[in-house]
Structure 1
């Protein structure tokens, strides 16, 4: 919705996207709903974005993005945009602060409306005073084109703090002016004891660094409020996430708003998940190696067997096992329980066609996409497709050149695969009855919850149609 009004250039669109990505702290510290209003080519004032606070109830329960500004404040919004000056207004129990939004080159591109409910419970004087100072600084920065700043991180990590998690107000020298109860508790757990107001936070935290295994080089910048950045501090196994927003007045630093959150349990859970992922990756790697070893042993055994039927059975078993190992190779490479199946199938199709040929030239073509397939279904799907393609080469194209085309269509959970060759073909209602066919029918019915059908091609050859249901979503 940012550029639905159609009045912004590329710089203006980018500036508003950055503002929307970073305006939650302002909503929280003002206990207010935030609205971005843009003028349209039809001389309307359109609401382009809306942010609700986590520290108070919302004043607007409906989705108003895309709607014109209410008539009750339309006049004030237009006046602020034309004069490039902030205004205040009130309607019933709602107070409005109307602030021009300027880019870094001082071009006004829209209006920020801060809407707060007068009936919101008032905070203690110290809280109210510090929150008000932070609010004034941030609104002034927005109207001066200083917020959001250049180089500020936007891809915030899971667990990045908000105002409600813990707030510290710093002056220009990094001295704590105010610390919320949640912030005090977080730093107490880190090992910082006593009162925080009146102290230089960076000095208090530095004393705990002897118990830390590593220190982010940006930590002093954040603790002193000398830049808008995100970092973490760890001591004695406790992890505190920190986010600083530098407060300025026309380029001069006036202080900072520092948000903090105890993310110890969150990071511990993430480390456990990383360990489990690494373990799963290693298991899949070992399974792949073991399967390839078994496949190689079967291949060696097949070379010693004289009976053609026994040799063929060993070759088939070796090929099936190697197909399964390919899926585990893909799982080991990604470390996930899902496979981007297109790449795996492309290798499988070339391998199946190459191994099964006995001198003839067979071309293969793959159309469509399987998408992401869960590991439990990927193995069965790989074996089924390998059997069908191998059968097409060994029987449909036996002793002759030809081609095989695989067409895939995926729609959510439903998967349709058509495998067509231009070989000798089959009669209507006819299909194989060997072990390979039994394996295919069993896997499709039990593992893929689907069906398979063999039919003569439109001119010659055979068309195999597989319909499967993917129980595990992407």
Structure 2
């Protein structure tokens, strides 16, 4: 493809760069119908030379450099080596000057570009707004003594028609949509030519086969394509209003039809020529492609996505049911220790349910953690000690992250916040602050740092840091199940480290560091 540094040039006028990009996006059609290689050339100027893209600035001695090429997909290439960043031979350079200054296509027998082959070469000037901006060369193999079949002659006529429009900047058109929808038709998929009224002049074998699948068994040639196609569609089908304009070749648009369980995409290229009345449409090239299998696979993927979202939704509902059952059971407990244990289990189950709820609302398996943690952070503090006056402050940005990372991180945050409220503030009013910060590690991998602080009674001067294998140890001293869960999840699921230490002023600061690129499974 064309390098961006080549196209961003002060010598190109307004819109020239964009038009060359459009040409690069569509010139495969010319290469496939012409059965030849295409090369794009730009003039080379000395830095001290006054630059003028008119006849004054370009002389017979001006050199040209190739900046891009495309090979045909319908026949073998003539150039087995890359032609980009090459210069022209003397013979071609002479024709290049004639094409540039005369603004007409120049054809000649070329035995210089490849010493092993004499090829037919056409030098096509690319003219926009009355000035030549670049050259295109088409290289094809001569027929020799053989008589070319009709299909080959038609293909080359199509290429000539397109090149005539290219040389005056009339194609590709800026008004034509350049969507990235999958299934855009190519020459090898099926091609037809139409007259000004939309009658078929020629249909390739693949195009004939496509219409046979749609239900038409006759001869396409001399038929009005739009009428045939409409008769094949189901009676209750509400066809796109733009489809007749595509099938008659009046507009450079794309369309799609579905009939007899088949799906076919179309692309229309109106053919225009200069007359006394200006640009006059005299026919069209119509590309078509059977995309039935492609659409079936897309439907399967959409169905799978919907199924996965439904599974996440049902898991979330089931977890919420479990959480509600735990809440009911905790109310029946006679001892505070049993009641507190069930309430903690309820919070953990509810946290996992929130992750599945987020996954059920999107198409990807990534979670917008900022939206998720905003709700969970405040809820965790509130549930840890109902009725206690706790202020929560959330700072920074977590961003999107995969579900296998989001679930353990949400559980870790839930445990640390609950611990900060229950033990750090210890029944007193206070503030819990959480900060999320994304950065890059020394190896350039995305890294997440989560800092949770409270202004409670603190740990004194003690600093505790856990990571790796050392974190997989039994509970020690007064450490509860929550801290053991935190250590295990950070070391195994997040593949990171966690550090407890004193906060500035008073309270406790907990810092979690993990690499987003490689969470442990």
Q: TM-score, normalised by structure 1?
A: 0.86
Aligned CA distance change for structure 1 residues 135 and 379 (closer, same or farther; 3 Å): same
Aligned CA distance change for structure 1 residues 227 and 360 (closer, same or farther; 3 Å): closer
Aligned CA distance change for structure 1 residues 317 and 204 (closer, same or farther; 3 Å): same
| Shift in Å, 1:230 | 1.2
Q: Write the distance in 2 (CA, Å) between the matches of 1:35 and 1:351.
A: 64
Pair 1:465 & 2:512 matched: yes
The corresponding residue for 2:405 is: 377
Q: Deviations over 1:163-191 (max 9, x none)?
A: 01111122222222222111111111111
2:126 aligned to 81, 101, 110, which one? Answer: 101
Structure-to-structure mapping, 1:27-426, within 5 angstroms: 27-39=31-43, 42=46, 45-62=64-81, 64-65=83-84, 67-72=85-90, 73-89=92-108, 90=110, 91=112, 92=114, 93=117, 94-103=119-128, 105-118=129-142, 124-210=148-234, 213-250=237-274, 251-299=279-327, 302=330, 307-353=335-381, 355-356=383-384, 358-367=388-397, 369-373=398-402, 375-398=403-426, 399=428, 400-401=430-431, 403-409=433-439, 415-421=447-453, 423=455, 424-425=458-459
Q: Deviations over 1:365-385 (max 9, x none)?
A: 224x44441x33332232223
The corresponding residue for 1:7 is: 11
Q: Deviations over 1:383-439 (max 9, x none)?
A: 223323433444445534453333333668764434252642462347883222222
CA RMSD of aligned residues (A): 3.2
| Shift in Å, 1:156 | 3.9
Pair 1:440 & 2:470 matched: no
Matched-pair contact (CA < 8 Å) for 1:346–1:366: no
Aligned CA distance change for structure 1 residues 393 and 82 (closer, same or farther; 3 Å): farther
Q: Write the distance in 2 (CA, Å) between the matches of 1:233 and 1:334.
A: 29
Matched-pair contact (CA < 8 Å) for 1:406–1:420: no
> Any gaps of 5 or more consecutive residues in structure 1?
none
1:451 aligned to 496, 502, 521, which one? Answer: 496
Matched-pair contact (CA < 8 Å) for 1:281–1:335: yes
| Shift in Å, 1:27 | 1.9
The corresponding residue for 1:428 is: 463
Matched-pair contact (CA < 8 Å) for 1:6–1:41: no
Aligned CA distance change for structure 1 residues 119 and 355 (closer, same or farther; 3 Å): farther
Aligned CA distance change for structure 1 residues 8 and 344 (closer, same or farther; 3 Å): farther
| Shift in Å, 1:243 | 1.4
Greater CA drift, 310-319 or 395-404: 395-404
Bigger Cα Rg: 2
Aligned CA distance change for structure 1 residues 403 and 232 (closer, same or farther; 3 Å): closer
Alignment coverage as a number of residue pairs: 468
Aligned CA distance change for structure 1 residues 187 and 443 (closer, same or farther; 3 Å): same
Matched-pair contact (CA < 8 Å) for 1:241–1:260: yes
Aligned CA distance change for structure 1 residues 191 and 122 (closer, same or farther; 3 Å): farther
Matched-pair contact (CA < 8 Å) for 2:184–2:267: yes
Q: Secondary structure at the match of 1:207?
A: helix
| Shift in Å, 1:294 | 3.7
The corresponding residue for 2:24 is: 20
The corresponding residue for 2:60 is: none
> Any gaps of 5 or more consecutive residues in structure 2?
52-62, 467-474
Q: Deviations over 1:187-219 (max 9, x none)?
A: 111111122223222232232124673422222
Q: Write the distance in 1 (CA, Å) between the matches of 2:73 and 2:519.
A: 35
Q: Deviations over 1:271-312 (max 9, x none)?
A: 222222222222322332333344345445556656443343
Q: Write the distance in 1 (CA, Å) between the matches of 2:41 and 2:228.
A: 43
